[in-house]
Amino acid sequence: MSRIFYNSQSQPIQLGHKIGTGGEGTVYEISGQSDFVAKIYHEPPEPEKAEKLIVLSQLRNDRLLNLAAWPVDVLRVEASGQLAGFVMKKIGQAEEVHALHSPKSRLRKFPEASWAFLIYVAANIARAVATMHEHGFIVGDLNPKNILVTHQATVALLDCDSFQVTVDGKTFRCEGGFPEYLPPELQGLSLRDVERSSGHDCFGLAVVIFQLLFMGRHPFSGKYLGSGEMTLEEAIRASRFAFGADAATREMQQPPGTLPLEAIPVSLNDLFRRAFLSADRPQPQEWIEPLESLAKSLKACDLHTGHFYFNELT
């Protein structure tokens, strides 16, 4: 592969060291540009995808660049040739947010992170998604692997080239998504044929926030009390939220040894119930104040200095 590509101004861009490889492409450093990186696709993008990348790069602004690895320019094989990738802001010294889920990985990558840190991260993710919605974008493939977090609890959304965007009456769809983060109405559908809505993002965001507060547990992953097996996708489709005092009415029982829903304030409890049991899912900005209020309302455990809990609990 050539190490030289050309930006929209026909200027040569020299690739540096490889940073990492994903399903769609490989990310490289850019020689002489420490603040930016290049994503080169494994296969040349189809015309629709290429057009979408050009649109995204033209819509960039400071707010988007602060909250996401946003495309700032496209890259071509030749000055006026086929599009091969794009340039995006480099997100340094950050980890995928699922590194915060388990005590083991948290101790290794975020040794100073308490429960308050995780709660602030959740609030910042809600802020980032709210900003995307304010701009008219739908994240679509919203999941912990597409979110980076720094040691200052700031976050950045990844894979912005998969976002759904509508410009001048034309919608460029998001064709990806993990079933675990898709709402009931999208389970089992071909996402290539679906126009996403902000309500779909609201479900995925609620799952991401739940996993941060409940040590990586999925809200629909519990013991099924009915006959036969129940997959996670089937549980989501049937709205079988596995937590809460009334979980048994949905034929579910939360996993043993997990934090109960009653261990968080009623305000957050209600938001989760709306997100997982109704069509009136909380908008991203609705999460911010209750989460920050919880982070400020924690009490340190007398037995373990690293353990914090909601101060209204015994």
Dist CA 242 CA 275 (whole Å): 13
- Residue ranges with strand state E in 109-260: 147-150, 155-157, 165-167, 170-172, 223-224, 252-253
Identify whether 246 is a catalytic site residue.
Answer: no
Dist CA 220 CA 230 (whole Å): 10
Helices (H), the chain: 47-58, 62-67, 103-109, 115-134, 198-213, 232-237, 266-277, 284-295
DSSP-based three-state secondary structure for 89: strand
Looking at 141, 159, 161, 201, which residue is catalytic?
A: 141
The answer to whether 66 and 91 have CB atoms below 8 angstroms apart is no
Dist CA 97 CA 146 (whole Å): 8
Residue 16 carries which side chain, given as an amino acid letter?
G
Q: Which residues are catalytic?
A: 141
